[in-house]
Each structure stands twice: as C-alpha cells, then as structure tokens.
Amino acid sequence: MRPHRARHHQTLIVLALVLSGAAGHVSAHDFWVGPSAFRPKVGALVGVRLLVGENMIGDPVPRDPAIIKQFVVATATGTKPVPGRDGGDPAGVMRVDAPGLLVVGYQSHPRTIELTPDTFERYLGEEGLDEVRALVADAPGRKTAREMFSRCAKALLSPDGSPDSGRDRSLGLTLELVAERNPYAIGAGQELPFVLTYDQKPRAGALVIAISQRDPARKLTARTDRQGRVVFALPVGGAWIVKAVHMVAARPGSGVDWESFWASSTFEVPDGARPAAPR
C-alpha cells in the first residue's frame, strides 16, 4: 500500500472507532489533550482538542457531555471547568487570563468494549501490563475479554513562555501523571521526572512511555519505582506525550472482566540546553 493511501486507511480506521463509540480505545491507539498552542499569549483563546491516534498524529473526538467526568483547567488562582459546545471540535475553548503554568485535565466516564483473545494479549504486551498478561495466560481456555476503560489525560501549557512560573499538580484523576519539574524550564537532554498515581497513591512497577512528535519512532520507556516515580531525559525539543496504563480485575456484578485507566500528559520542551533548575 502506498504511504498516502496507508495514512488515509489508518485515518478511516481510527475515525470508525470513534464513531462506533469505542472512543479510540483499542490497543496501540493513544488518547491525549491537544491545545491549539502550548505557549499561547496572555489574553488569547486556546482551543482544547481531544485526540485519538498514534505517535501524536490523531483524529478529533468531539465533545460529548455524556462521556465527560471531568474537564478542567487549573491555574495559580484555582480550578474551573473548560467550556465548550456539545458535539464541537475543539472539545473546549478557554481564555488565557494570566501567565503561569496551565494544567488542563480530562477524565472520561468508563466505556465498555470486547476484545478478541489475540488483540487483548497483544495490547497487554504493548502497554507493559505483565501481571494481567500472566493471569490471562494461566486462565483455562481463551475467551473474549470484556473491558471497561477510562481516559485520564492532561496537557501543560506555558502562557507567554514564562518557564519558571508554576508547576504541574494533581487534579484528582484516577490514574494521573504529575511532572515534578516544569517542562518549559528545562531543555532538550535534561531530566524530567514524573510521578504516576492510582487513586491518589503512587503506582509502582508501571510501564511509562514517552513519545516525541518530532521523532516518534524513538520511544523512551521506563518503569516506575516504589514511589511511582520515573525519570526521562528527553533528547529533543518540541511536543511530547508521556503515557501509562493501569488495569485491575473488575468489580463483581460490573458485567466486565477488567477495568483499565489510560493516563497521558502532553507538553512542549524548549530547544537547546537551559541552566539546571532546582529540584
């Protein structure tokens, strides 16, 4: 298949997933918050898109109030909802009132999906869900996996390029990545640590993946330590997505076998080295 036809075919597949109500879940399809600008001007309007795809190339997910559990932006003065038009793309629009790091957070209500045994096992491997993969492998017989999944996505914005103003913070998402340094205060090649939490507690042993929009084939991977912490030295500037997945056995009576949570954080890293910031 020719490259442009392959891309068109992939787009149709992703769009079909969105329109079918799967909200772009299935294996190898990421979900993230994509602002119209990571470093907007104070006073500007910023479109906040919800995107599904791969390697930071995605298709829009229109705003659906039935799916939204939380869609907010946190500033130095507090947290407020991100407004938007139902069915609209971008899913939200907000005005930048002041400098300082903006933290946009989105969590969906859980959705259900059924996956074939092969598809389920493949995506468990891709997302590093080794414990679940071992349980599935040891289970007698192979059957369709019934899963309930929730999206927990964030984006970090730096108005007017004020790199030393503000820090990431927890928004109370079920599975959440929190950057311990302001990504706009570092440069390419410098360390950026994250803490992954599940139900507000550190999640140890989880696979975390970092993908650059400029060089998506060069994925960075690491597992969280006992404090849920992982550190990446991001080699290039530009837009990045950091992501992780956590899965647990579903509660009795839920009608599904597994419950999963998909976390992501998007941001930009400035080009060039910067003086080391205090930790």
Measured at the CA of 109, the angle between CA 12 and CA 134, to 5 degrees, comes to 80
Residues 146 and 245: their CA atoms lie apart, in Å, by 16
pLDDT tens for 121-179 read 999 999 999 999 999 887 777 789 999 999 999 999 999 877 667 899 999 999 999 99
Domain-located, residue 29: yes
**Predicted local distance difference test score (pLDDT) of residue 139:** 77
Residues 196 and 244: their CA atoms lie apart, in Å, by 8
DSSP string, 131-166: HHHHHHHHSSS--PEEEEEEEEEEEEE-GGG-TTS-
Q: Which residues contact 139 (CB under 8 A, 6 or more apart)?
A: none
pLDDT tens for 10-60 read 433 333 343 333 444 444 489 999 999 999 999 999 999 999 999 899 999
Domain-located, residue 106: yes
Domain-located, residue 143: yes
Domain-located, residue 241: yes
Residues 214 and 216: their CA atoms lie apart, in Å, by 6
- Of the two residues 162 and 244, the one the predictor is more confident about is 244
Domain-located, residue 277: no
Residue 138: C-alpha distances to residues 126, 243, 274 (Å): 19, 28, 50
H helix runs in the chain, sequence order: 3-19, 117-126, 130-138
**Predicted local distance difference test score (pLDDT) of residue 274:** 55
Which of 175, 177, 174, 194 has the alpha carbon at shortest distance from 234?
Answer: 194
- Number of domains making up the chain: 1
Domain-located, residue 88: yes
Least confidently predicted of 113-117, 140-144, 185-189, 203-207:
140-144
Which of 200, 257, 223 has the alpha carbon at shortest distance from 128?
Answer: 223
Domain-located, residue 254: yes
Name the DSSP letter for residue 183: G
**Predicted local distance difference test score (pLDDT) of residue 273:** 57
Residue 15: C-alpha distances to residues 19, 57, 150, 215, 264 (Å): 6, 13, 19, 24, 20
DSSP string, 99-116: SS-EEEEEEEPPEEEEE-
pLDDT (average), residues 77-104 = 96
Domain-located, residue 237: yes
**Predicted local distance difference test score (pLDDT) of residue 10:** 41
Q: Which domain holds residue 220?
A: 3-269
pTM listed for this prediction: 0.87
